[in-house]
Structure 1
């Protein structure tokens, strides 16, 4: 739940609770004041009846039925006049106010006694509750109707108060992962100022670390290319003079391996999204796949692999170098780990707006733990002790992951029906031929 919704619900809940407490308190106060007023009314009525010039067996003026008042007038121990409902004897009443059960209902009774006459006036308690309810409802009903309107006002002002935070959230959501520029806008809110200041400081530190990590490997690899090339030439010349020599052969293999590592590090340094997306154009994945297969066909033939390429041709918006590198690394891995006389299957297919490039092999496959670690730099399944005996730098899949990020694509590693690994690259929103 958003902060805005949470604050609105909290404030609205507090308002409703306050209204409820005010309603209860108002009801209690209304009942107290109502009882005092109605008790005073009973006194007045009793005083009026006391002054009536009645004689024995005379009739007092009838009370209006709507008044819901009952009365009796006693003089010299005899009833002069009264309501039929008050059929109790005078001895059952006490002077002053009291609450009794009369005629099947609770009544508020006032007994006004003098030396020559006694007046009894009674009123239903229900009338008092009705009066209190009417008063409290007339006072609270407008407030209850105002609650939805107040909820709208609260929501609006909470939104207005949180506008700087919402703006900051939207700006961060739209910011690219490689955008470390400072947030350059002024705010007057004391709560937001330190947040922006800390974020700008963090951006600066992350940018420094990002650039240092990004350029270190590529710079180091670039500096190593020249001495490696010179060393390779010298070893070649020495091998030409001395003929077959196991030590020179081992040295040559080591130099070749180190050269491969350097080249992979250079490619890894170049595969940054912002460098490639500016030069994208339509590329045919089928044509690029065929080109890569032809480039690696000697290795395929050396291990007597059976390779198949099937599916639909489609184009995606991309760069030829990165796509060649992506497919070459994945195909090279399949060639390395598929045993001699094994199978490699490449499939291109389209599903809705998704375009899928897929490769499967009949190699030993990978465990779930290995699938999680395969994209780590310098990690190789089984290391140099892998049954395939193939040498490698452990950078191929790291480069693949970088290229996947360039295309905002998705890569999935699952088990293949051929017995080995199935790698599926999903390009979203590609253009179909």
Structure 2
């Protein structure tokens, strides 16, 4: 692909050349027109200068330029030709007086005819002589234009180079940077046409720096959080190896399985969080039925709920509501909310999942009757790896962070409220997009259709 410099140079030079050629063509036509008018006047002047009577060996007026090829012919009334000046230009006498163009012997002539002293005077000249004169005049006038074109080409080269110098400067400033140098590019002295590009580039560098910083923090936090379970796994394995009886060995392996489950859960949560950062670009939105998502979340966690004798189900007042969003991300968000509710709710508790409209906005809500979260700590539960003090249930502190990340991806709000029925917590995700429409039981086939 041609560079901007090459395109500008070629475009301007070709344009200047075309303009020069058009100017030369116009000059030729103007010169040809002027030459015809001047030559016609010359033919008439020669006719006016001819004597009324002719005597032997009389010399007639002649032009100074032998290249004009002007022929003078004189006839008597009876048609007898008494004089001709050019032996090779014997045009027949014309009946029409004045100027006219005559085609004779394969060539076009310009002829002036009049009667004078009882004789017919005819002055003629080939048009090729006039065209040659016009071409010579145009070439003489075109020479300065060609010199001007050369000067213009030099000026174009200098101006284009100077105009693109700031672009080369910006390109050079970016090219010499290391991957870690993400500071903003200096905008001082940049032309207004280039400024929007540099501003957009600086914004991109700022976003990259923010993303890299978040990744570094995430990696550091993940490494810190993985160190403890891995160390515990190694210690538990050593205890299992040193067990002296089958009973002690079985207990050690049971604890080892528990440690592995916690580690697997932590790794799964870390990967989920990494895939759904708030700065990630939303995938192609699809029509998502929130009611189907709640039913799927209940089905996925029913075995775990049964193991703790927890009454898990979809709230009776739930209704099918369809929105445009990332169906996979919304499913993960709701799964984390249900998992957290089940994990922290006591044996024999109750967890309800709701989908519907609240305040004109589509909402997802998970309600439990567990211990809840103190009001002072509700904002901090969205921080990565944060767990309230005194919490005996094992976890990694990433569930609510994942919920917040996916909510931000959908421009949604997450609210934590106390259960008005007593102890427990209500987590409400209020989606900012308008509900597409309410659906009935027959519309379930629409789930996952691309908008």
Q: TM-score range by the shorter chain?
A: 0.5 to 0.7
Q: What is the DSSP-based 3-state SS (H/G/I as helix, E as strand, rest coil) of the residue aligned with 1:168?
A: helix
- Cross-structure match for 1:28: 29
Tell me the CA shift for residue 107 of structure 1: 1.5
What whole-Å deviation, never above 9, does each CA across 1:181-220 have from its counterpart, x for those lacking one?
1112402411122222222222112111111112312322
1:169 alignment partner in structure 2 = 171
SS at structure 1 position matched to 2:122 = strand
Deviation digits for residues 76-112 of structure 1, max 9, x if unmatched?
434332133344553x442111222345532211112
Q: 1:28 to 1:250 in 2, by over 3 A?
A: farther
In structure 2, what is the Cα distance between the partners aligned to 1:154 and 1:87? 57
Pick from 85, 88, 93: which aligns with 1:85?
A: 88
1:120 partner SS: strand
Cα deviations across residues 227-285 of structure 1 (Å, max 9, x unaligned)?
542454355336534535367458658969969x99xx9xxxxxxxxxxxxxxxxxxxx
* Aligned counterpart for 1:133 among listed residues 127, 132, 135: 135
Aligned residue in 2 for 1:48: 49
TM-align CA RMSD: 3.1
Residues 153-168 of structure 1 correspond to what in structure 2 (within 5 A)? 153-168=155-170
The answer to whether the aligner puts 1:97 opposite 2:99 as a matched pair is yes
For 1:89 and 1:204, the matched residues in 2 are separated by 92
- Give the equivalent residue in structure 1 for 2:235: 233
Task: Tell me, in whole angstroms, the C-alpha distance in 2 between the residues paired with 1:88 and 1:36.
Answer: 22
Distance 1:246 1:34 in 2: 119
Change (3 A) 1:60 1:235: closer
| Mapped contact 2:75–2:82 kept (Cα < 8 A) | yes
Kept in 1, the 8 Å contact 2:68–2:129? The answer is no
With the length of structure 2 as denominator, give the TM-score of the two structures: 0.51
- Find the counterpart in structure 2 of residue 195 from structure 1: 197
Change (3 A) 1:138 1:243: farther
- Give the match's secondary structure for 1:108: strand
Counterpart-to-counterpart distance in 2, 1:247 and 1:26: 107
Cα separation, 1, equivalents of 2:117 and 2:60:
23
Shift of 1:114: 3.5
Alignment of 1:56-75 (within 5 A): 59-61=58-60, 63=62, 65-75=66-76
Indicate yes or no: 2:118 matched with 1:116.
yes
| 1:12–1:151 Cα contact (<8 Å) kept | yes
In the TM superposition, what is the alpha-carbon distance from 1:133 to its structure 2 partner? 0.2
In structure 2, distance between residues paired with 1:10 and 1:30: 30
Name the counterpart of 1:296: none
Contact 2:100/2:110, CA 8 A, preserved across alignment: yes
Indicate whether 1:9 and 2:17 are aligned: no
Q: Distance in 2 between matches of 1:172 and 1:11?
A: 29
Q: Distance in 1 between matches of 2:7 and 2:210?
A: 38
CA distance in 2, matches of 1:122, 1:23: 29
Q: Secondary structure at the match of 1:177?
A: coil
Q: Return the alpha-carbon distance in structure 1 between the equivalents of residues 91 and 193 of structure 2.
A: 75
Gaps (5+ residues) in structure 1? Answer: 266-433
Question: Gapped runs of 5+ residues in structure 2?
Answer: 271-451
CA contact (8 A) 2:236 2:255 kept: no
Corresponding position: 1:179 with 2:181: yes
Give the number of aligned pairs: 259
Closer, same or farther in 2 for the Cα pair 1:130/1:251, shift >3 Å?
A: farther
Alpha carbons of 1:120 and 1:233: their partners in 2 closer, same or farther (altered >3 Å)?
same
8 A Cα contact 1:75 1:116, kept in partner = yes
Q: For the residues of structure 1 that align with 2:98 and 2:173, how far apart are their CA atoms? A: 77
